[in-house]
Structure 1
Amino acid sequence: MSKTVFGDSPYEVLGLEVGASAADIRAAYQRAMKSTLRDRDLRDRISRAYNALRRSAGRHEADLLTPLPVRLPPDEGGAALLAEARRRMAEVSPLLPDPASLGVRPD
């Protein structure tokens, strides 16, 4: 299971792919809770993952923090994966500091 900056990816805790529908998230949550009746720690992780994904802001954050798969899918040499990575970087790049403010000079 890959880790995000804040811990396990909510998608992986529930066994879902990034971009799952709200109905898929609810069904995965219910399945996971039924299968772990006695493990309180795992139930807490599942609840936190579900709560993160059911809110739009939490879901957007989970989408940005969930690592992309290492293996490229068989579609056109990974064109869809590359487009998704570029889209995520465009969303995150305004949050990064300006290199000039860090004292970095271009050579």
Structure 2
Amino acid sequence: MSKTVFGESPYEVLGLEIDASDASVRAAYQQAMRSARRDRDLRDRISRAYNALRRPAGRHEADLLTSLPARLRPDEGAAILLAEARRRMAEVSPLIPDAGSLGLRPG
């Protein structure tokens, strides 16, 4: 299971693909909660994942923080992976502070 900057990917906790519909997210949440009846820690992880994916802003954040696929199908090239990485970095880069604003010196 891949980790995001803040922990496990909500998609992987619920066993979903990134393009899952809202109905699929809800169904996966309900099924996971039934299977984790007595495990409080697992139920907490499932609840956090569901809460992240049920709101559009939370889903967008989870999409950005979820790692890119490690392996592509043979008919897809590395250019697709590179384009996706560049698109995600363009979305995230305005959120990353520069070293000067943090009081760090380059070098």
| TM-score, normalization by structure 2 | 0.83
The whole-number CA distance in structure 2 between the counterparts of 1:39 and 1:30 is 15
**1:1-107 map, 5 Å:** 1-98=1-98, 104=106
Unaligned stretches of 5+ in structure 2? none
Superposition deviation, residue 20 in structure 1: 1.4
CA root-mean-square deviation: 2.0
Runs ≥4 residues deviating over 4 A: 98-105
The whole-number CA distance in structure 2 between the counterparts of 1:91 and 1:13 is 24
Task: Give deviations 1:6-57, integer Å, cap 9, x for gaps.
Answer: 1111011001111211111111111111111111110111011000000111
| TM-score, normalization by structure 1 | 0.83
Verify the 8 A CA contact 1:73 1:81 in the aligned structure 2.
no
Unaligned stretches of 5+ in structure 1? none
Verify the 8 A CA contact 1:4 1:65 in the aligned structure 2.
yes
